[in-house]
Amino acid sequence: MECVVQGIIETQHVEALEILLQGLCGVPKERIRVHELCLKSGPSLAVPSEIRLLCDLAQPTPSWTVRHVGGAMRGAGAEQISVLVRTMVESKVSNNALRFFYSLGYKLDHELLKIGFAFRFQRGAPITVTVTSANKMPKLHATDEAVPVTPGIQMVEITAPTAGDNYNEVGAAVSSFCEYLAPLLHLSKPGVSTGIVPTAAAAAASLLSNTGGANTPQLLYLFAMSCFQMTLLCEADAALYPLHEHDTEVL
């Protein structure tokens, strides 16, 4: 299972988001170039199902993964938390996976090329933040000719695995991290659209003009000042919280 939230950001602000994430996560970013093939069960199979084959093109030798995303958790517990909890199983597979699933009666529904970057780090839970553009191919499997589906807009997704009995803690860790990103983008459960954040432009400009190699505490202080100037007091407080832990005086 996993906890997940999503949001969108204008491509012009992705650089600022990357700087912020670099400062918050403290790990190197990973390049993403994934050919994603969505397969659906054909008419001969009784139970409709869907899988995604992911071919990682960022590595010297492409590697394949099959992923199945199941239904979301329902009930009072699900409604009370701000993240979506859903089943997700993925497995590495050999490179003949597409032919294999065709032989099982699956059909290609659509394919995308996802390009961007990811940060994987530990903050209360193992968290992965991906920022990607979705690109469609004019011809079958023509990844070199892919063009953006939504030019100017990229998707941000934050996921964290959960065993099912700790989804509250994992969800809280994800929600807590999302607060750091609030001036740039809002993240919510998939399917709940919040649009583009109106403060994104100002926040991005502040990040780009003030960082230039700053370390994490200075970066967070500058970001907090930007939030304060935009009267985003909760976001400013959240950005300053790591400084509070070290008993650093805050102006």
Tokens, residue 204:
């991005």
From the CB of 83, what's the least distance to another protein, in Å? 21
In contact, 164 and 132? CB cutoff 8 Å: no
Q: Of 100 and 241, which has the nearer Cβ to another protein?
A: 100
28, 44, 79, 251: which one binds another protein (CB under 8 A): 44
Helix (H, G, I), strand (E, B) or coil at 248: coil
* CA 161 centroid distance within chain: 13
For residue 234, give the nearest of 158, 172, 182 by alpha carbon.
182
Residue 234 sits in the site that holds another protein (CB under 8 A): no
Distance CA 155, CA 14 (A): 10
Residue with Cβ nearer another protein (41 or 128): 41
Question: In a 3-state reduction of DSSP, which class is residue 20?
Answer: helix
The DSSP symbol for 75 reads S
Among positions 126-185, residues that touch another protein (CB under 8 A) are: none
In the stretch 48-67, what mask flags binding to another protein with x, by CB under 8 A? -x-x--------------x-
Q: Which stretch binds another protein (CB under 8 A): 26-34, 37-45, 53-61, 184-192?
A: 37-45
Cβ distance to another protein smaller for residue 106 or 180: 106
Query: Mask: binding to another protein, 74-113, rule CB under 8 A, as x and -?
Result: -------------x-xxxxxx-xx-xx--xxxx-------
- When the beta carbons of 61 and 80 are compared against another protein, the nearer one is 61
Torsion of CA 182, 115, 134, 13, to 10 degrees: 30
Judged by CB, which is closer to another protein: 43, or 138? 43
The neighbour count for residue 195, using CB atoms within 10 Å, is 9
Burial call 23-46: b when 16+ CB within 10 Å, e when fewer: bbbeeebeebbbbbbebebeeeee
Q: Is the CB of 19 or the CB of 37 nearer to another protein?
A: 37
The footprint of another protein on this chain (CB under 8 A) covers a number of residues equal to 27
Which residues of the shown chain bind another protein in the complex (CB under 8 A)? 41-47, 49, 51, 66, 68, 70, 87, 89-94, 96-97, 99-100, 103-106
